[in-house]
Amino acid sequence: MPGDVGNRHHHTQCKTRLLYHEVSGKKGDGNILYFVDDACPRLLPLGYFQRFVIQLEHFFLQLLPLPVFFIAGNTIRLEIHDRRNEIIIAKLVGATNGFIQRPFLYTGFWIGFLSGVLAWFLVTFILLILRPAVENISGLYEGAFHLLFFTYSETFMLLLSSTGLAVVGSWLVLHFQIKQLRPE
């Protein structure tokens, strides 16, 4: 009987559920799609692999700010090395460490701010390139998936965090390097 074949086929198929994990706290924003299959052991490794990739992504997202921190600090360290004689003369004249550190902190500020602006332009450029392809693929599966550009608050947070990390990295290097420079 045709009805029995359909029922048998229906019972042997794997039933996959879709679960959403909220990342940002706002409903509908920043959801991660999980494919969870309790009834089909074939798809279980896919779920484990997907969870592993998400954990790996979170790990690398934690490491992502470190290059800004270290690049700004290293740039300031090299600038201190180049201007070593000026700093020693300024200390001999009676300049305080804060007075000597100020131009280097401004340099760290600009390094961080400009790297944040560059990151914003790169992400926006990549989104502009990928947007038509993603919308075409989404249309094939009758989905309403669209790439979103940075909002004003996200742009502000990007610039603030890159600038802040660069200034903190600069300040730490300055604090250590300026104390080591002593007039002879």
In terms of domains, do 81 and 57 share one?
no
In terms of domains, do 12 and 83 share one?
no
Confidence at residue 46, expressed as pLDDT on a 0 to 100 scale: 67
Q: Which residues contact 105 (CB under 8 A, 6 or more apart)?
A: 167, 170, 171, 174
Structure token digits, residue 53: 């990739």
In terms of domains, do 44 and 95 share one?
no
Confidence at residue 6, expressed as pLDDT on a 0 to 100 scale: 38
Calculated CA dihedral for residues 71, 72, 77, 78, nearest 10 degrees: 70
Confidence at residue 49, expressed as pLDDT on a 0 to 100 scale: 77
In terms of domains, do 131 and 86 share one?
yes
In terms of domains, do 129 and 47 share one?
no
- Cα-only R_g, the chain: 27
In terms of domains, do 57 and 68 share one?
no
Number of domains forming the structure of the chain: 2
In terms of domains, do 68 and 47 share one?
no
pTM of the model: 0.67
In terms of domains, do 74 and 150 share one?
yes
What range does the domain containing 32 cover? 1-62
In terms of domains, do 25 and 112 share one?
no
Q: State the sign of the Cα–Cα–Cα–Cα dihedral 133, 139, 145, 151.
A: positive
Confidence at residue 167, expressed as pLDDT on a 0 to 100 scale: 94
- Burial classification of residue 150, based on how many CB atoms lie within 10 Å of its CB (0-12 exposed, 13-18 middle, 19 or more buried): middle
Confidence at residue 24, expressed as pLDDT on a 0 to 100 scale: 44
Confidence at residue 182, expressed as pLDDT on a 0 to 100 scale: 76
65, amino acid identity: P
Q: What tens-digit pLDDT sequence spans the chain (184 residues)?
A: 444 333 333 444 444 444 444 444 444 444 445 545 455 666 566 667 778 888 888 898 888 888 888 888 899 999 999 999 999 999 899 988 889 999 999 999 999 999 999 999 999 999 999 888 888 887 777 777 778 888 999 999 999 999 999 999 999 999 888 888 877 6
